[in-house]
Every structure is written in C-alpha cells, then in structure tokens.
Amino acid sequence: MSSVPVFVGLDYHQQSVQVCVLDEAGRVLANRRVNNDGAAVWAAATRHGQPTRVAIEACCGAADLAEELATQRGLSVALAHPGYVARMKRGPDKTDFADARLLADLARVNYLPRVWLAPEETRQLRRLVRLRQQLVARRRDVKLRITGLLRENRVRRPENLSSWTKGWLAWLETQAELSDSDRWILEQHLLELRQLGERIASVEKRLSTQTADDPIVAKLLTLSGVGPVTAITLRAEIGRFDRFGNGKELARFCGITPRNASTGQKQADAGLVKAGNPQLRALLVELAHRLLNRRDPQWGPLAGRLLAHGKPKNVVVAAVANRWTRWLYYQMRSVEPTPTTSAPARQKGPPLPPSPSLDLT
C-alpha cells in the first residue's frame, strides 16, 4: 500500500458500496463498486494510498460498517448527515458515482457535516427503546379503535368507572351492550391489547436488565420527575452527554430549541426547531408537564413568571423542557463512563482546519 495521503467517500447500499478515492488535489484515483464487505471496502480504499479521512453517509447499516472499518481496519471514518450532504449537491441528479465523489471531496476539504458514530451498545439500546415506542403506538391505536367501536354503538361508560381501569375493562367484556358481531370485534381488540401489554412489559424488563449497571441511567433516576422509561430513553437517544459543547447544543439536538424566523425589520419566532428525534422531544415535553403538575420548586417559579407575562401554556411547557435539558447537561457531563471501544488510530496527513460540528443524529 502506498503512503500517499488519499481521501475516501463511501456510498452505502445493502449489497454493495461505491468507493471513491481522491488525492490531495481532488483528482479521482478510483470510483468503483465493491461488495458490502469490510475487507473489500478496505482493499479498495487503501489501494491507491493511505486514507487520511473516510466519509460515509449515515443510513441503516452504515454505522456498523463504519465501526468495523474504524476498529478492525484502523481507518479514520466519519458519518455524514444525509440531509446536509444532499443540500451540497450541485444538481438534482443522483447517482452512486456522484454521491461517493461528493463525500470524498467533503472529506478532502474537511467540511463534512458529521454526525456521532454511536457504539454498538448504544445502537442496541436504541433499537430496544424504539421497539417499545412502536408497541406503545400500536397499543394506543387499538385503544382508539375500541373507543370508536363504543362510540358507534353509543355505549357510555358507567360514571363510577374510569376508562382503561381493570374494573372498566371487566365491565366492557361482560356488560357492554353490543351486537354479536361487534362483541366479537371487541374481543379481538381486547385480546390484542392484552398481548401488547405483555410484550411492552417484556421489553421494559429487558431494558432494565440491560441498563442495570449503567451509571448514567442510575444518575438520571435520581432526578425529580424522571422514571425508568424516561431515563433509559434519554440514555439511548443521547448516548454520551460529553459529546456536546454546552447545554444549548444538547437542547438543539433534542429538538426543543426555539427557532427564529426574523427577516429585515420583522422579528418573529417559528416554534421549535424541526430537528432531532420526535419521540425524544415528546418525552421531554411530557417530563416538563410532570414537573409543573408536581409544582417542582426548581421549575415552578420559572413557569409562574412566564405565565404572568402572558405566555401561552404550551410555550411555557416547552420553555421549561428547554431549560431543564440545558440544566441536565451540566448535571450529567461528569458521569460519563469510559468508552468501551477504542478510538481509531489517527492517520497522518496535512493539517487542515477543523470540520464544522453539526452532530444532528
């Protein structure tokens, strides 16, 4: 292998990877498709020189390949934000050849919009958390179907029973006035509801076991308003708190930062930024509701001042979620465990200015 520094862009696909190799002057040394295999990608990337930086667009499966190239092959691999990379294209056409070329060029000039490469343990925890979220969404859908069925039959719940309690469900199974056909439909919905409840409990037990010795989860559970599901979700989606520079960066990552829409003499806000995981944003808003409902002494006065200034309730809740997240950063940044995966060896090459840090996974 030559010691000439080169820059590599990888356009990832399930069966193959397009590998583009550029020299320091931006000349294309190779741009070819290889099998989706770590050894084949490494051979193509190192054939013309020593890779200084390797860029791969973040997508399903790309993180696993990136970690393999970094930990087993010693390459300096960075994940690129697909949305920002798409905005940098010079035309509307899309080809694997051009995409790999663009990634290699962005790596060469060190202007790659990077995202964090989460370790395998964090990616596994995210998949479990998102499985629970999917099951909860399905359970909510079943409840809506049951409610719709009762509404169509004009069935009213007894005044002494609250919806979805054990007593109400027992009444629904035995005493609700429904036709034979609708009774059968109701039984199918209730069966699915019980099965989903068992599956959700199984996933939550697995999550508790997997994070039993996690110091970050343990610390989160000591905070007011934070339960096991909230703590584990924050752990999975945020990963490491110390990868952010300050609390504002963490809040923006979570999607609870206000977005400015000013132009000329017009000064206006446009709600929250459209970034981050929607479930993570919803979880933080729910947490803010809990803090305010409990009249938390730390956050209640802030909400009171905002309400006194005429702010709407939803704006106040979002503001509390934003401030709480920024406060959380400074509580958690000193609790980070030592990374389990070693960092890839740095490749020698000419000094370049630092790449812009977007970190929007």
- Give the model confidence (pLDDT) of 223-237 as tens digits: 999 999 999 999 999
3-class SS of residue 248: helix
Pick from 15-29, 80-94, 120-134: least confident = 80-94
Q: How would residue 348 be classed by pLDDT, with cut points 50, 70 and 90?
A: very low
pLDDT at 262: 72
**Token pair of 315, please?**
């704006």
CA-nearest of 8, 4, 70 to 38 is: 70
What distance in Å separates the CA atoms of residue 116 and residue 310, rounded to the nearest whole number?
39
Q: For the chain, what are the domain ranges?
A: 5-115, 120-210, 215-332
What distance in Å separates the CA atoms of residue 52 and residue 351, rounded to the nearest whole number?
11
* H helix count then E strand count, the chain: 13, 8
According to the CATH classification, is domain 5-115 in 3.40.640.10? no
Q: How would residue 215 be classed by pLDDT, with cut points 50, 70 and 90?
A: very high
Can you tell me the mean pLDDT for 176-184? 92
**Token pair of 78, please?**
């960075």
Q: Which helix (DSSP H) or strand (DSSP E) does residue 330 occupy?
A: helix 313-332
What distance in Å separates the CA atoms of residue 53 and residue 39, rounded to the nearest whole number?
17
What distance in Å separates the CA atoms of residue 296 and residue 184, rounded to the nearest whole number?
47
* Percent residues over pLDDT 70 in the chain: 91
Q: How would residue 77 be classed by pLDDT, with cut points 50, 70 and 90?
A: very high
pLDDT at 89: 84
pLDDT at 268: 66
pLDDT at 307: 92
What distance in Å separates the CA atoms of residue 51 and residue 70, rounded to the nearest whole number?
12
End-to-end CA distance of the chain: 34
Provide the 8-state DSSP code for 96.
Answer: H
CB 77 within 8 A of CB 341: no
Q: What is the pTM of this model?
A: 0.83
